[in-house]
Chain A
Amino acid sequence: MISSLSAFAGRWQTTRLFSAARLVPLGVCLLAGCATARGDVHDPLEPVNRAVFAVNRVVDGLVLEPAAEVYGLVVPRPVRRMVRNLLDHLAAPVVFVNALLQGERERAGITLGRFMINSTLGLFGLFDFAAELGYLEQDEDFGQTLAVWGAGEGVYLVLPLLGPSTVRDFVGSAVDTVLLDPAGLALSGEAQLARLATEAVVTRYELDPLLDDLERSSLDFYAAVRSSYLQRRRAEIRNGAPAPFDDSVYRETPDESFEDPANR
């Protein structure tokens, strides 16, 4: 049903390409992700991805996971909270610029306000005072901006050391890193390295319960991570709205075209 719907939408777009009405289905597709219904996975590089995934897990077990464990044991909770706040504060400009690029004025405004409040009342970002005032952290990056602009997701990738991604997200993080991150440009080489290492360890620490749970409960950890990553990114692009057009998952109608692994 879903696939036939999007196939229909696709044909319709092509035939009416030069009609003003094309903007309507196009807009729907941008918001809803017609090309990527919720369960869809495009992983033609799976053999390579699985190999990289396996290597990443070894590296994780040797380096990152132990470091994250030490972090949790040694650093008290209030300090961990400040470390996370500071990392997010340094990243706020990236969120701000991407919100603007997506035309999300309200989210950009909230991010700017947060930055000013937390730079002052929050003692240079150590405390998230803005959240107490009701200005919650927003979440944007250039991968999401590309999606809003209409770029397709591309194939699923597992990057060495960096983990799950897609072509679109890989380009997105490269642009965020090289062009849109003033903190990264302002910090000295050592400071930036320290920031990255801290971010890696802290994030690994925060993700530990989730990864652990997923690994224990999954029948195929690689497939579970891939599906979770793609679903999560698509939800972020929708800014958290429930997934539309994904109802075939909840239907028992026999639709041979749906989620055929051979089509991936």
Chain B
Amino acid sequence: MSPSKTPPIDESVRRWARRRLLAAAGLGWVALWALPAGAAASDPKAFVLDLRDRALAVLRRTDLDREAKIGALEDLLEEATDLDLIARLVMGRYWRQATPDQQKRYLELFRALLRRAIAERLDRYSGESFDVTDVQKVDDRDTIVRTLVQRPNGGAPYVVDWRLRDHDGRLLVIDVVAEGVSMLVTQRSEVAEIVGQKGIEGLLATMEERLKKQRSAG
């Protein structure tokens, strides 16, 4: 970000997310739709590139209507991400405190909200693509693949890190980090806040409410 000079009205907003990472979170999800199945699945870089190509292929198809595209992207998401693990990690320590019934309802709501998010972001996709710039092994299970997202309509490129987990040779995405902002960490922080204030039932109620609102908004 560029330096703060004198504080303009939203200078600090500017500091937390500069134009470079505009829509970075959104694009992260956009790219997340596209994950590869079995092929190349044990090489992190090939996995992420395959994911990109499959997502772009769906996005560029002209023979599918909006609903069909959303469906195809959802399938890719289910296939290439460990959604159950992500959902549990977002809950953090509260996962163990939830009853089996609450856990089941939470997972359903988590998926339903994700579907809405995919639909919304599909509508805003504007031609972004990315290349792999670095691959770092974190430990024996996790690898971070760093990508640089280019925006065709101008604007500086920005960095998105993909965190992949190796499940016995099969890679799955467990987090997307745009310019340092992790989707998982952000959602986890929200959940901790809501559960801390209203308990697990309160969280489920909040998720239901949000889902209703999004459905009525179209």
Contact = CB atoms under 8 A, between A and B. Distances in A.
B9 A177 contact: no
B129 to A, nearest CB: 17
Contact of B181 (A141, A169, A231): A231
A214 B25 contact: yes
A229 B184 CA distance: 14
A137 B15 CA distance: 15
Contacts of A209: 22-23, 26, 124
With most chain B CB atoms within 10 A of its CB, the pick from A41, A207, A214 is: A207
B93 A39 contact: no
Contact of A242 (B121, B177, B192): B177
B111 interface: no
A202 to B, nearest CB: 9
Nearest to B177: A242
A238 B177 CA distance: 14
Contacts of B56: none
Contacts of B120: 213, 216-217
B189 interface: yes
A172 interface: yes
With most chain A CB atoms within 10 A of its CB, the pick from B24, B93, B139 is: B93
A200 B10 contact: yes
B91 to A, nearest CB: 10
A250 B159 contact: no
Contacts of B144: 242
Nearest to A111: B3
Interface in B153-178: 153-154, 156, 159, 161, 163, 165, 174-175, 177
A162 B6 CA distance: 11
Nearest to A38: B185
Nearest to A170: B12
B89 interface: yes
Contact of A161 (B9, B21, B184): B9
A246 B92 CA distance: 14
Interface residues of B, number: 75
Contacts of A236: 1, 180
With most chain A CB atoms within 10 A of its CB, the pick from B12, B124, B196 is: B12
B193 interface: yes
Contact of A249 (B96, B117, B184): B184
B73 interface: no
B202 to A, nearest CB: 11
Nearest to A158: B12
A234 B7 CA distance: 20
B182 A196 contact: no
B190 interface: yes
Contacts of B12: 159, 162-165, 169, 173, 229
B40 interface: no
B22 A207 contact: yes
Nearest to B13: A163
Interface stretch (A6-14, A23-31, A147-155, A256-264): A256-264
A159 B13 CA distance: 10
B11 interface: yes
Contact of A39 (B124, B161, B188): B188
Nearest to A196: B8
B186 interface: yes
15 contacts: A81-B154, A87-B2, A88-B2, A177-B5, A177-B6, A206-B22, A209-B26, A210-B25, A222-B193, A224-B187, A228-B17, A232-B21, A242-B136, A259-B92, A259-B93
Interface of A: 38-39, 41, 60, 63-64, 77, 81, 84, 87-88, 90-92, 94-95, 98, 137, 139-143, 159, 161-165, 169, 172-173, 176-177, 180-181, 183-184, 192, 195-200, 203-204, 206-207, 209-211, 213-214, 216-220, 222-229, 231-236, 238, 240, 242-243, 246-247, 249-250, 252, 254-256, 258-262
Given A203-B19, A258-B92, 4 more contacts: A164-B12, A213-B25, A231-B181, A249-B184
